[in-house]
Structures are given as structure tokens and as C-alpha cells.
A and B are shown apart, each in its own frame.
Chain A
Amino acid sequence: MSRRRSITLAAIAAVIATAIGIVLSFAIHWFPVQASAQAHNTDTLYHVLMIASIPIFVLVVTVILYSVWQFHMKPGDELKDGPPIHGNTRLEVFWTAIPAILMLGMVGYSFVILHDNEKRPAHEIQVGVTGQQFYWSFQYPPSVTGGAEINSYDLYLPDNESVYFNMRSKDVIHAFYIPAFRLQDDVVPGITTHYLATPDRVGTYPVVCNLLCGVGHSLMRTTVHVVTPTQFRAWINSQLHPNSSSTGKFSTVRGSSG
């Protein structure tokens, strides 16, 4: 087989492999359900990164496999050497400049997403998050409850409304991670950390501590309940007036343990 023909074959194989890879990267369900506006953005970023990465990986593997196929030592060549090629400045400039441009492009795009994800909206509610070994508790200030501050072991959030978490730790570092939102930040003793989430899908989703905090770390889990604004209001009221009639549906059990 001529060199030109074998290279054409390898190129076709590489294009097919890239196509299959990209199709698979969309077909596979990599993530938990998307339950926040940020999750949509981050997943889009992931898919863009995959589209950029798969051709690079396929290129590397294709060159390796092609070299093994075409250039492996044949019988009789045991003492032969290859051609003394020391380099090619134009090629080296090319494979320095192109990846650099690609990197800056991807980083720039990721900053756009980051900016989008963290842009504070006109309307948001503030919820306090307290981490301690080994459970979470949540504080709803009067601005949210319309009454007294609520301290709860359950996390209820209204659908389609941005929430700004103010997070504090009572002991060591924890991380407040909601995979369905694609969001987390460490909860650090001595400082208050924050992040913004905009839940946009009603349901209950896992919340986990994602920074080693001691022997009970793996069980420091709870759930977040994203509910309709009406249900949220009802839940707030049930917390404000624990003995009123509305408690039946939203009775609070301690949400986490460990």
C-alpha cells in the first residue's frame, strides 16, 4: 500500500472515530438531572469541551496506531536507523500557536458561562447554610419568611427563584454540594462563603458534603426540595406556626444524620 493511500485510510478512520466519539458524548447521560439554570450552562460547557477534546485525543491515538502499523520494525531492519529528521520550525510553531489559541478560546468561553452563572438577579432570596460535624442546617431570614427567622434541618427552595446561600461552618471545612445544580463551595470556619443558585425544576435532589470533614463525612447528606412558590410559602408558614393545620403535609423531620 502506498504511503498516500495508507494516510488517507488513517485519516478516514480518524474522522469516523471522532464522529462516533462526539455522537456518544451527546448520547450518554453523564450528569444527574438538570435542576438549575446553572446546570444547563455548565452542561453546555461540558459538551463544548468534549467537542474540542475528542479530535485531539483521536489525533494522538491515530498517529500512534498509524506509526505502529506502518513503521514497526520489519525483519531485516534490525540494525537500520530512521531518517535523521531533527525538527521542523514551521510545524513546531504551528503546534504551539494552535493549542494556545484553542486554550484561550475555551477559557474565554468558560468565563462567559461563569459570569452568566454568577450574575446576581434583581430578585433573590437569601438562605443561610450552616455546616457542622456531621449535618447541615438552614436559616431563613425574616426577609424570606416575613416573620421570625426559621432554623430548619430541611432545605426547601422555591422553583424559578434565585437563592443566594450564605454559608458558615461551626467546626471544620465542609463543602455544600448540590450535584443537580452543578454547584458547590467550601464552608469555611471564620469566613462566610456564598453562591448563587437558580433552581428551575421541581423535585428533590441529593445534597452532600464534598470536603472530608471527619469520620462521619460520607453520611453527611441531605436533600433539597425544590417546590412551587405556593408550596414554598405554605412550608414557610408551617415552620412559622408549627401547630397550625398546614403542618400535615410538610412536617419536618430532621433531614440529615450521621
Chain B
Amino acid sequence: MAAKLRAPGFYRAGWLMVAGVGFAALLTWLVRMSTGHATFHHFLSGEAVLTVSLLAVPLAFLVGIGGFDYWFYWATGRPTRPEDHSGHGAHTWKDYFRINTDHKVIGVQYLVNSFFFLLVGGLLAMLMRAQLAQPGSHFVSANTYNGLFSVHATILIFLFMVPVFAGFGNFVIPLMIGAPDMAFPRLNALSFWLLPVAGTIMMLSFLAPGGAFADGWTAYAPLSTDAPVGQMFFSIGVQFAGASSIMTALNFLVTIITMRAPGMSFFRLPLLVWANFATSLLVVIATPFIAASQFFVLLDRALGFNFFNAAKGGDVLMYQHIFWFYSHPAVYIMILPGFGIISEIIAVKSRKPIFGYRMMAFSLLAIVGLGFTVWAHHMFTSGMANWIRIPMSITTAIIAVPTGIKVFSWLATLWRGILHLDTPMLFALGFITTFTLGGISGIMLAMVPFDIHVSSTYFIVAHIHYVLFGGSLMTIFAGAYYWFPKMTGRMYDERLGKWHFWTTFVFMNLTFGPMHILGLEGMPRRVATYAAQFADLNMWISIASFALGLSTLLFIYNMVNSWRGGPRAEANPWRGMTLEWLVSSPPPVFNFDRVPTVVGGPYEYGVPGAVHGILAPTPAPVVAAGSGMAHAPS
């Protein structure tokens, strides 16, 4: 038992977390006591202990499961344990529940964790739609309702959209560039374990005195700086999720820059790798801003710093500028990797090279640059200086141009191809359709007079769900089906997959489409009840949303069932050219038993005799499947 309590794992995490609470109690007691009775009636304050615990306990957990062991050994001068690869790879299901340094295991951990939180966030949405089915409903209280939509958005943004793409990237990027693993495997492991921590904190906020954080995922001050203690679960939970993002982004950047296989020049990279490269730049530059904004809220609320207290010289609008300086680029963080997924699928499933490969890569970089110049379009009605609206409106309209280039290039890739209309392709085509709608409503919102009317109404709710559900989530489903054989070594059920696509596509439009109309009619968002004139459409939306929620069960059933007992998958079921299809499904522990050499572009479909990569040094052609990659040029 004593050995168990010392070894990295959940036992050690358990007692360290208890110690974390003790530390928080001791620290706050000491501080309050040294300040004296003049300031505090009681030296032991539950709220103070809770706030400090929110920082101390998760850190104790991460230390407990062994997230920092190697660094502690190194820092204390003890001999670091030689890397015997014992922490690498998964042999039983238990290997997914410990610190694991294999990028493929971490990728699966990321994905399963993210889909778990997709279900949680979706369930919260179902509760919201139950409340909104009728005006004046008392299904939940107004305070609970405000908590529901706040946690819904926070969970789905910080624990689903952002990390799910990191999951795909983790699994696929090293394989695609011909690397044995990520550049920093231990950092990679730590970055994953921050996520369940952040998610647990956010969900536990429902148990906090005064309820969950209830001022939206935007947490505008000064509402947030005066909120009940549940707000601290947001401010601190976001720090853990944000730290995870930054670690992974740094890891991706270093891996992509330094670990490409011989011959893999930047312009031979698959577009998914380009997309993650661009996204990681955004994450590294932007994420510290939301961390700062939430630390300011934390300091304002817990310690009375008055950053955002107008009565004490604070600046209310400053919060929004800092917040959106991250949170606008964040929408590109949540869509660029999806663009990458769609580029892979459209090329393979159309059996054609990507149309305009270089423009596809450059347009990603253009979005990264422009993405930092548009944040104040979220603030057209915020009371900021009027002139700022003009440049931000222009840049917002212009950022549609690189996005348009991508859509048109995908369409041109379809043209005269041989379209395999299976589940990943259906989601890709569905994505282009709904994302175009979301993009168009985005352009409309760039027009200031129109935005002044619909800002903060259901039109905004419709727009963001068209780009995040109709956009990002469609790419995520497409990617999940596309790489499922590679990740699990099994094939999914194609018929169920198609059912999943059609139910999702139809009910998604039936749910979010009518919200445009509600917004144009002037229904505010974030309301627990509404005027009677909006009743019919809201009932309709609620019914459609329940059907949409049910459609997700088809996906979960298909994934779980196929993983357990689906037919065995070949190494290259889609006849793809990128390197991940050169190795077995699932790939060997260190990915490539022989070093791959890249000799051509990643999408040379239809070019006679073209290959992307060969497994050197074997001289003979090594891959027999697929007309596009039958023979390496001698």
C-alpha cells in the first residue's frame, strides 16, 4: 500500500488532493490572521479556502498522477530514469488512464475525453431547450438557466472544440510528417491531463454556493467580478484548459518544424499539417490574453483589485478588448484544423489533387494574420469609440476572402473527380454547405448598421452554431469516421454513418435555421424567458433540437460498437497517399519501422506513377494498393 501511495497514479493523486485542500486552508488562515481582526471576523473563510483550493487541488492531482515526475527528478539532481519506453503505448485499456507518452494514445485520450464533453455540453443544451420550449416556463430557475448556457458554451468551446482538434493533430501529425512521436512527449502527456481537470472544475461549479458561473462564456466584467463564487470555477478552469492549449500548440510547432521526414519540405506537407501549424501560431499568440483577462477577474473578485471597477478607476471596456483579442482568433482556432481535415478528405474521396495547394496554405496564413485585426467586431455596440468600427468592419469583410478561396478550391477539387460518397465525404460536403451559410451570415454581421440591430440577438446564436456546429462539428465527425480505421484498426458501420449524417444535417438546419428569424425579430439571447410573440418558433426549435440530440447517439453507438467488434481495417482502406496510410492500422508503437522518405506532393492522385512517400531504404516498391501509388519512380 505504501508503495502505491508513493508511485505515480490515482492513489498518490488522492492523498495529495486532500493535502491541497489543507494547504489552501492553512494559507488563507495565515494570511487572514496576519491581517487581523480589524479586517476579518473569521480567519477561516469557506470561500477563500475554495478559491485557493481550485488552484491547489488540480495541481496536486497532476503531481499525483506523475505529470511532473521526470522534471522533479531532473530539478532535484537525482538521476533521471532512463527512458525505457515503459510509459509508451497501450496494451490494455488501463494504459489510457495513466500518464502515457505515446502520441497515438494521447490522441485517443484527447478524442474520447472531448466526445465525452460533447455529450455533456449537448445535454446541457437539451435542458436549455426544455426551459425555452414555452415562454414563462419554470423548468429551471433563471439563475440555473444562466448557469446552463454559460457552462454549455464553456464546456463545448474549451473542452470540446479546441481539444478535439488537438486530439486529431496529436494522432495524425507525427504520422503524416513521418515522425516517431511528438517533439515533447512528456509535455504532451501533461497537456492532456489538464483537460479532465478543467472539465471537472467547470462541471463542479453547479455545486458551488450560489450556483454555477452564470454570465456566459464571455464573463463580462463587472457582472463577473461581483458574481457568486461559482465564477471562480470559470476563471480558474479556463487557466487549465488554456495552459493545455498552449503546451500542445508549442509541441505541434516544434514537431512540425524539426521532425519532418527526409524530403518533407513545407510545400509537401499535407494541408492538415499546414492547418495545425497555422492554428498553433494563433494559440501561442492569443491564448495568454484570455488567461490574463480571467486572472484579472480572479484578482478583482477575490482580492479587490478593481481592474474593471469603474467607480475605482477601473476600465469596463478593457475587459472586452482583452477577452476578444483571444476569443476572436479562438474561432479560427476552432475551424482551421477542420479546414485541414476537409482538405484531406475532399482530395482522397474525389481522387484528385487539391486544387490550388499553395493558395490553400497561404490562405491559412492570411487568416492567421487577419484574425488578429478583427476582434472589435464583437464590440460594435459596446460603447467603444465609434471610429474603431470602420477598420474592424473592413478587415472582417476582407477575412472572408481567404475563407472563400478555400471553399472555391474545394469545389474545384470536386470537379471532374470520382466522388466516393461515403460517410466522411458526406460530412465534408455537408460542411461546405452549412459553413457557407454561417460564413454569409458572418459577412452580414460585419456590416455595422445591420450588426447594431441583431447584435446579441438569436441571429448571433444562429450564426455561431452554423459555423461551430454546421462548420467545426461537421469536420470533426468527418475526421472521426475518416481516421477511425487508422486509430482503432477496425471499420465503422457505413450504413449507420450515413444515417448519422442525414439526421444531423437535417435537424441541425431545423434547429439553428429558425434562430436567424428570431434574431431578426429582435429576440435577445441569454434569456430564460421571452415575449409571447416568439413562442411558436421556440417550440419548433426545441423539438428539432431534441431530435438533433438523439442523432448523436447513432454516432456514439457506431463508434463504440465498431471499436469493439467492427471488421478489421486494412492499412490503407481509402487508398490515401499521405504517410499515415503507409503503416498498419493501428500503427506500430513507434509509427515507422523503416524511415520514410518523401519524394512528392501529398495529393498526386491521377498522376501516373506518382508517390508521396516511400519507406526507405527498401529499394523495391513497398505499397501495392491503389493505382495512384503503385510504383515509386526509380
Contacts and interface: CB of A to CB of B under 8 A. Distances in A.
Given A49-B444, A73-B421, A186-B381, A63 B414 contact: yes
Contact of B418 (A30, A31, A81, A182): A81
Interface in B423-450: 429, 432-433, 436-437, 440, 443-444, 446-450
A68 B448 contact: no
A61 B216 CA distance: 35
Contact of A177 (B357, B398, B405, B522): B522
Contacts of A209: 524
Interface stretch (A95-103, A119-127, A151-159, A224-232): A95-103
Interface string A61-88: 1011001100111000101111111111
Contact of A61 (B215, B358, B433, B450): B433
Contacts of B356: 86-88, 92
Interface stretch (B111-119, B389-397, B586-594): B389-397
B215 A110 contact: no
B449 A81 contact: no
Contacts of A216: 142
A211 to B, nearest CB: 6
Contacts of A41: 449
Nearest to B607: A84
**Size category, B interface:** 35 or more
B353 A217 contact: no
Contacts of B528: 217-218
B453 A60 contact: no
B449 A212 contact: no
B215 A212 contact: yes
B5 interface: no
A185 B420 CA distance: 50
Nearest to A171: B222
Contact of B359 (A60, A92, A180): A92
Contacts of A92: 356, 359, 405, 409
A111 B520 contact: no
Q: Which residue of B416, B522, B529, B627 has the most chain A CB atoms within 10 A of its CB atom?
A: B522
A191 B383 contact: yes
A212 B521 contact: no
B560 interface: no
Nearest to B390: A111
A82 B416 contact: yes
Contacts of B408: 95
Interface stretch (B71-79, B196-204, B308-316, B476-484): B308-316
Given A64-B432, A175-B456, A212-B220, A71 B355 contact: no
A218 B220 CA distance: 17
B15 interface: no
A218 B531 CA distance: 9
Nearest to A174: B223
A217 B527 CA distance: 7
B143 A99 contact: no
Interface in A240-257: none
A53 B440 contact: yes
A179 interface: yes
A111 B396 CA distance: 14
B606 A183 contact: no
A100 B381 contact: no
Interface string B159-170: 000000000000
Q: Which residue of A49, A63, A85, A212 has the most chain B CB atoms within 10 A of its CB atom?
A: A212
A18 interface: no
B446 to A, nearest CB: 7
A135 B453 CA distance: 21
Contact of B317 (A53, A81, A83, A188): A188
Interface of B: 142-143, 146, 214-216, 220, 222-223, 226, 310-311, 314-317, 350-353, 355-359, 381-383, 386, 389-390, 393-394, 397-398, 400-401, 404-405, 407-409, 411-412, 414-421, 429, 432-433, 436-437, 440, 443-444, 446-450, 452-453, 455-457, 517, 520-522, 524, 526-531, 575, 604-607, 610, 626-628
The 10 residue pairs across chains A and B that have the minimum distance between CB atoms:
A190-B310, A179-B522, A218-B527, A110-B447, A81-B606, A193-B383, A84-B606, A82-B352, A182-B453, A82-B417
Interface of A: 30-32, 38, 41-42, 45-46, 49, 53, 56-57, 60-61, 63-64, 67-68, 71-73, 77, 79-88, 91-92, 95-96, 99-100, 103-104, 106-107, 110-111, 113-114, 117-118, 171-173, 175, 177, 179-180, 182-191, 193, 206, 208-219, 221
28 contacts: A30-B520, A45-B447, A46-B520, A56-B440, A60-B433, A64-B414, A81-B605, A81-B627, A82-B417, A82-B418, A85-B352, A85-B415, A85-B416, A86-B353, A95-B408, A96-B359, A99-B401, A104-B398, A107-B393, A182-B452, A184-B381, A184-B453, A186-B383, A189-B310, A190-B311, A214-B146, A214-B215, A217-B142
Given A68-B429, A175-B456, A186-B383, 5 more contacts: A38-B449, A81-B351, A88-B355, A177-B456, A189-B222
